Amino acid sequence: MYLIASDHGGLDLKTAVKDFLRERGIEFRDLGTENNDSVDYPDFGEKVARAVSRGEAEKGILVCGTGIGMSIVANKFPGVRAALVSDEFTARMSKEHNNANVLVMGGRVLSPEVARKVVATWLDAVFEGGRHHKRLEKIAGLEEEIRKGRI
């Protein structure tokens, strides 16, 4: 199950991404927001990132105005590898090299057409493992050090 959420700045792009996910037959759940009223992006980024961190969702997609705020929030959660992407290349690399489990985009940065290509690329890319797996293990080790209060 994929989760998707946005703030008001990402609502229009989130709607386009949801349409694309439906076209691809991908099961997802929208965790908000539902309208253009101003909201705080951390509230929505937390919902998706917490669920991915706990293993309650396979992957997530977050959208805010620039994507910066959502990526900062999501990466606070252990095991979340949120990648702010701007094109097909960064989307592919985020999965192939970093095994990103949360895709983040800027609703005021990307057009719906570009976002569709970005999401398709991210969905279709496969983690390469190998030397990249070793690097992700190092990140997991840092998370554990932080959890234990050693950092």
Considering the candidates 8, 64, 132, 133, report the single residue annotated as catalytic. Answer: 64
Task: Report CA torsion sign: 124, 129, 132, 135.
Answer: positive
Give residue 123's pLDDT.
98
* Domain definitions of the chain by residue range: 2-147
Give the CATH superfamily of 2-147.
Answer: Sugar-phosphate isomerase, RpiB/LacA/LacB (3.40.1400.10)
Catalytic site residue 8?
Answer: no
pLDDT tens, position by position, 31-64: 999 999 999 999 999 999 999 999 999 999 999 9
- Residue 131's contacts (CB-CB under 8 Å, 6 or more residues apart) are none
Considering the candidates 8, 97, 132, 133, report the single residue annotated as catalytic. Answer: 97
Reported confidence tier of residue 150, pLDDT bands at 50, 70, 90: confident
Residue with token string 């976002």: 115
CA-CA distance, 51 to 144, in Å (whole number)? Answer: 19
Catalytic site residue 132?
Answer: no
Does residue 79 come out as left (phi exceeding 0), alpha (psi in the -120 to 50 range) or beta?
A: left
